């Protein structure tokens, strides 16, 4: 089938849909209806969504839920979460309630430095670059003054610029390694604008003062932010650690610690362990209009910082006190980007009390820790499938278009029976 198209981006939205339906769904009577049924009836709101990206033909909805009862540094939050996976919001809520009665979560921002780099090659004498760089370094600050003016007023800006010689790993390769403080903005556009000006200044001065050929390769921020760190933790007496009558608090603590240690030393387990943490983190990052792909990349890189992929959370028992904590890099913003455009994002941030970027870092880290606690508690006691499949039951019932009456009967039935896909199918057949 001929599927290439010329000038697609110049077509109207309706014309784009016509081409998609005609080309890919000639026998699918409902394709156009499915696409259009997710349009917002509010034309102004739909236009806003259309202009977030290119070639928009519909909206793709994800559930927007909330996890209440999070006590963080003595303040109570209801945390917005955007995610499609069953049981994530329920698990976070359950962990929040458990720790609410045990002093809540403590969180602190350790540092907020972000990084950007100008990558370039130089085929002359590497030693010549050091005095050259030291001489022109003030120009980088001067030439970006128009870009940094408002950020400087808010207490942020360019912190430092270093010249790094990387020729041992790649011939003629050097970089500027710049550090930034972007306050309540995630700061990607600010950092990239500064870096591009650095590159312009560098090339201009190099052409005049250096003997060799200096070539700019690229200028871009890094999503690896190991100095933009937040820590969250919970602690309580071991004797207060479990509500499960089938296991003693001491036995539960021991199993929990072992589970964390396994994730610390076994990468196959660590990846799944950390994925569960990211269930909570991504859901809040997405609900608050931040870039979850950047957050994922940076956090997983941090989990590998020792050269081996390992757990993001850690646990210990000292003198009868159980402690569980997480330390992760998070580059987040509460101003700019979608935070001021998307109506639900604005609502989510308002629900959180219009937090600063630092406060949002703490909230997000706590949600990841809560998610991990809930998962490990299930895994080391009842197993994770019992609760997960009960939450997944509704998805299976909807898949088979169960009526409200059928749902009521089947939910009652599976309160005392194990949920599996085949068991639900059999139960549906039997009542039909």
| CATH code of residue 187 | 3.30.70.420
Cβ–Cβ < 8 Å for 401, 425: no
Residue 1, pLDDT > 80, answer no
- DSSP assignment letter at 262: H
Query: Alpha-carbon distance 166 to 173, whole Å?
Result: 5
* Residue 58 placed within a domain: no
* Residue 314 placed within a domain: yes
Cβ–Cβ < 8 Å for 228, 328: no
* Residue 29 placed within a domain: yes
The pLDDT mean for the chain works out to 94
Structural domain range at position 28: 8-50
Q: Number of structural domains, the chain?
A: 4
Task: State both tokens at 172.
Answer: 């003629």
Q: What is the full DSSP assignment across 59-122?
A: -----EEEEEEEEETTEEEEEEEE--STTHHHHHHHHHHHHHTTT-BEEEE----EEEEEEEEE
- 241 in the same domain as 160: no
Helix 404-413 crosses helix 384-399 at what angle (to 10 degrees)?
Answer: 160
Residue 260, pLDDT > 90, answer yes
- 422 in the same domain as 361: no
The residues annotated as belonging to the active site are: 85, 275, 291, 388
- 178 in the same domain as 86: no
* Residue 133 placed within a domain: yes
Map tokens 């697609």 to a residue: 8
* Residue 56 placed within a domain: no
Residue 394 binned pLDDT confidence (cut-offs 50, 70, 90): confident
* Residue 273 placed within a domain: yes
The fraction of the chain above a pLDDT of 90, given in percent, is: 83
The answer to which of 31-40, 181-190, 215-224, 390-399 has the lowest mean pLDDT is: 390-399
The whole-number pLDDT of residue 389 equals 65
- 249 in the same domain as 198: no
pTM value? 0.90
Question: Which span out of 184-188, 259-263, 419-423 was modeled with the highest average pLDDT?
Answer: 259-263
Residue 160 binned pLDDT confidence (cut-offs 50, 70, 90): very high
Q: What is the full DSSP assignment across 214-228?
A: EEEEEEEE-S--TTS
Residue 388 binned pLDDT confidence (cut-offs 50, 70, 90): low
Mean pLDDT for 129-150 is 98
The dihedrals phi and psi of 117, each to the nearest 5 degrees, come to: -135, 145
Query: Alpha-carbon distance 280 to 94, whole Å?
Result: 13
β pairing state of 157-165 and 173-181: antiparallel
β pairing state of 106-109 and 229-237: antiparallel
The whole-number pLDDT of residue 157 equals 98
* Residue 2 placed within a domain: no
């Amino acid at each position: 089938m001929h599927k290439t198209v010329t000038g697609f981006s110049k077509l109207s939205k309706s014309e784009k849909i016509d081409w998609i339906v005609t080309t890919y769904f000639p026998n699918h009577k409902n394709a156009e209806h499915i696409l259009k049924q997710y349009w917002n009836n509010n034309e102004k709101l739909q236009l806003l969504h259309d202009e977030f990206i290119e070639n928009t033909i519909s909206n793709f909805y994800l559930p927007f839920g909330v996890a209440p009862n999070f006590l963080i540094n003595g303040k109570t939050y209801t945390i917005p979460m955007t995610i499609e996976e069953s049981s994530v919001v329920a698990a976070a809520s359950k962990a929040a309630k458990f720790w609410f009665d045990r002093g809540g979560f403590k969180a602190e921002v350790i540092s907020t430095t972000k990084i950007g780099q100008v990558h370039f090659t130089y085929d002359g004498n590497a030693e010549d670059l050091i005095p050259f760089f030291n001489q022109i370094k003030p120009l980088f600050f001067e030439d970006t003054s128009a870009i940094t003016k408002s950020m400087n007023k808010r207490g942020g800006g360019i912190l430092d610029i270093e010249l790094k010689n990387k020729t041992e790993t790649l011939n003629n390769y050097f970089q500027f390694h710049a550090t930034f403080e972007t306050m309540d903005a995630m700061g990607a556009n600010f950092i990239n604008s500064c870096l591009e000006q650095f590159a312009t200044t560098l090339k201009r001065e190099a052409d005049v003062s250096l003997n060799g050929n200096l070539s700019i390769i690229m200028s871009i921020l890094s999503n690896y932010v190991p100095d933009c760190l937040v820590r969250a933790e919970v602690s309580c007496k071991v004797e207060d650690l479990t509500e499960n009558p089938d296991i003693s608090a001491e036995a539960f603590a021991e199993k929990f610690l072992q589970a964390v240690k396994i994730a610390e030393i076994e990468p196959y387990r660590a990846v799944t362990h950390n994925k569960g943490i990211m269930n909570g983190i991504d859901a809040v990052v997405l609900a608050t209009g931040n870039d979850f792909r950047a957050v994922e990349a940076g956090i997983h890189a941090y989990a590998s910082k020792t050269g081996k992929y390992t757990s993001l959370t850690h646990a210990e028992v000292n003198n009868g006190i159980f402690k569980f904590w997480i330390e992760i890099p998070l580059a987040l913003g509460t101003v700019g980007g979608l935070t001021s455009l998307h109506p639900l994002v604005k609502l989510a941030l308002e629900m959180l009390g219009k937090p600063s970027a630092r406060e949002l870092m703490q909230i997000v880290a706590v949600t990841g820790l809560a998610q991990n606690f809930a998962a490990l508690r299930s895994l080391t006691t009842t197993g994770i499938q019992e609760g997960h499949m009960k939450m997944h039951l509704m998805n299976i019932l909807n898949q088979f278009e169960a009526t409200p009456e059928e749902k009521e009967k089947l939910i009652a039935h599976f309160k005392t029976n194990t949920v599996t896909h085949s068991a639900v199918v059999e139960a549906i057949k039997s009542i039909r």
